[in-house]
Amino acid sequence: MAQAPVKRPPGRPRSDAVRTVVLKAANDLLEEVGFAKLTMEGIAAKAGVSKATLYRWWPSKGAVAMDAFMAATVPRITFPQTDSAVADVTAQMLLLAQAYRGVTGRLVRELIGLGQSDPEMLKTFISGYLVPRRGATKEVLRRGIASGEIRTDVDLEILVDSLYAPIFHRLLLQHLPLEDAFVLHIASQAFSTVTLSGKNTPVSVRL
């Protein structure tokens, strides 16, 4: 009956190699020189691509950078899987803090920084990076609620904020170091108000 109407549009199709090579070049440059010194000209040169092609597919260097970051980073969002939601989230927070102390941290900082004067970029960052992360965290927390580890009346959004905001705070403001002890303290404190007694405590988690 119904016929597959997947009509390819006419004309030479977009080369996928271009996208790949551009994002690769952008990522390399991003790690080399950082976002501030990243230039469209540089990306084009490194990727062996013309500027016109760059501008055909990305509206600005911020968009390329964001895309490059997403392509390289998002696939790696994974959560530990144990029988304790609190332990899982805490372990994940420690992993995140560790990543944020390295190159990824610099990239995240610069991309969020970029977003402060470019609303579109911020939206991309939120929907492409932040929302998925928070979603995964909430999933784990819901497991904890189901298992009776976490109280049923918590506001998940606020809980997630309480857990991750201090990490972003120290990442972005750099007024104090982003140490594991700090992360554990924050986790312990945030969970203390929403967990039921006689259960696993995050403090027991070890890396």
Kindly state the tokens that stand for 17.
């190699």
Out of DNA, a second copy, none, what residue 105 binds, judged by CB under 5 to 8 A for its kind, is none
**Whole-angstrom Cα distance, residue 26 to residue 75?**
17
Binding mask 24-53 for a second copy (x = CB under 8 A): ----------xxx-----------------
Cα 22 to Cα 68: distance, rounded to the nearest angstrom: 8
Rounded to the nearest angstrom, the gap between the alpha carbon of residue 42 and the centroid of all alpha carbons in its chain is 25
Contact call for residue 2 and DNA (CB under 7 A):
no
32 touching DNA, by CB under 7 A: no
Residue 61 binding result from DNA, a second copy, none, given CB thresholds of 5 to 8 Å by partner type: DNA
Least Å distance between CB 3 and DNA? 13
Question: Does residue 6 touch a second copy according to CB under 8 A?
Answer: no
For a second copy, the closer CB: 103 or 158: 158
* Residue 177 in the binding site for DNA (CB under 7 A): no
| Part of the chain binding DNA (CB under 7 A), chosen from 57-65, 131-139, 145-153, 185-193 | 57-65
∠ Cα 104 89 115 (to 5°):
35
Is the backbone of residue 198 left (phi > 0), alpha (psi -120 to 50) or beta? left
Write down the residue that tokens 């970051």 correspond to: 69
- Spell out the residues 6+ positions from residue 205 whose beta carbon is closer than 8 angstroms to its own: 87, 90, 91, 94, 184
Cβ distance 150 to 195 under 8 Å? yes
List residues binding a second copy (CB under 8 A). 34-36, 109-110, 112-118, 122, 126, 130-131, 134, 155, 157-158, 161-162, 164-166, 168-170, 172-176, 182, 185-186, 189-190, 192-193
